[in-house]
Every structure is written in structure tokens, then in C-alpha cells.
Chains A and B, each alone.
Chain A
């Protein structure tokens, strides 16, 4: 089983990203998927998490994810506020939306670090919502590149099942662009 924690701010779409990943993984052939939001009330802008579990067998645990195999950080300003590293297993992967390169992202330790300027991708391809760039969808592309768990094909299928055709296409463009733009730095030995 792979456990993913999405670190975002309320309103950035961490919950939806977790859902689309679950859908994509299911299409990929994983029989066990769950996605869950932070339980309880949230505010726009406050740090929130969402989680996705992916397994080849149906999932029988619904407790909260403690230590993730993969963390996706939707907003690099969270790195100063939330202990992301403390929630990722040794040897795990941390994917960050940032214009920094992996070695400058400020993550040391036994982790693979992947970075992509998802904000830049969304702005360039004009994927916006209420004046702000939608960065959750592009990060699915980064996830695919950094982990190889889901294919672009199935992310596209999942998007098409959830969004009207034009929106799905636009979203998928950002997924592809982010996939191309993701840089991965493997953990040192």
C-alpha cells in the first residue's frame, strides 16, 4: 500500500486532488483506494491535509494516515509552518509546488524530492479559479512523473469523468505540462 498526504491551504483543492488521484489509481487497476479530507471545519487559507491510500487489494483501514510514502505540498510556504518531513517515511518522496530546484527546496534527509512550478504552469495555461491559479491538477502530473504509480492516460480519464469536456482538456494540459516540468532529485544513498 502507498499512502499519500496532500499538504495545502483551504481552497487550493487538496481534497479534490486526493480524490482524482484515487480515481486515477482505480482506473490504473488498484482495487483498493481511499481518499479523505481533513475531518472537521476548515477555513480558506488555513493549512489542511487530505490523504489518498492506494493498494492492489481492497482497503480495510480507515484510520488517518500517520506516515506517508509520498507527500505533495501544494504551497511551499507551508514548509515553514507544517512539519512535512515528520510525516513522510524514510526513503519517501516529497513533491513540492515551487519555483525552486529540488536542491534549493530546503528538504534534507533521506527523501526523494521533486519540484515543479505548478503555479507557473497554471498561470501560463490560464487555469484559474476566482482569480487564483489552480495548482492542484498540475500537481497530479508531477505525482505521475515522480512516482510512476499512475499514468497520464488514467489521470486524463479520471478528469474526463469528473469535469465537462472543455474543462477536462484544459486541466489535462496543465497535468502534461507539469509532468514535463517536474525535476526529481533522488535521496543521497
Chain B
């Protein structure tokens, strides 16, 4: 049952995926080689430049680093910024992938 909007001024709450499944927009997908990723290798919080630079906030600064491919748009900034060159952008959407 759809409720009517009672608000008299515009307000909204942040929510994941408000603009839809933006992962569908990708042509290139980031792939992390964890053997080169500093926090994974050192087993502690470190670097996380990929998380800092990601414009979509889809990088999870954990151990290991995880990228939410539901929403990652494949912009490649994480790969560009990674000082260990741990991230490679790989062609998305090949037939039968």
C-alpha cells in the first residue's frame, strides 16, 4: 500500500542505490591483486587511497579491500591512484561473461 507523502518541505534520507544499479554502467571492472595491496600484505589498516579517491564510495576499506560491483561505475580512478599498482581495469561485458 503506497502511503501519501505528508512532508510539507522536501527532505529525504540517504540510501544506497538511490540512482539505480549503477554497476551496469561499467565498461571496465577493477580487479585487485591482493598480493600487492599494502593493507592485505601488512595485515593492518594502511594506504586505502583507493577508498579515499573513489567518487562513488563503493570501496570498503577493510582487510581485504572490497569493491561493491553492484554500484562501481568503472571509472578507474582507484587503479590510477593505487601506489602499488595493485588494481587493473579489465574489460567488462564480453559475450557470455
Q: Do chains A and B touch in the complex (CB under 8 A)?
A: no
Q: Which residues of B contact A (CB under 8 A)?
A: none
Q: Which residues of A contact B (CB under 8 A)?
A: none
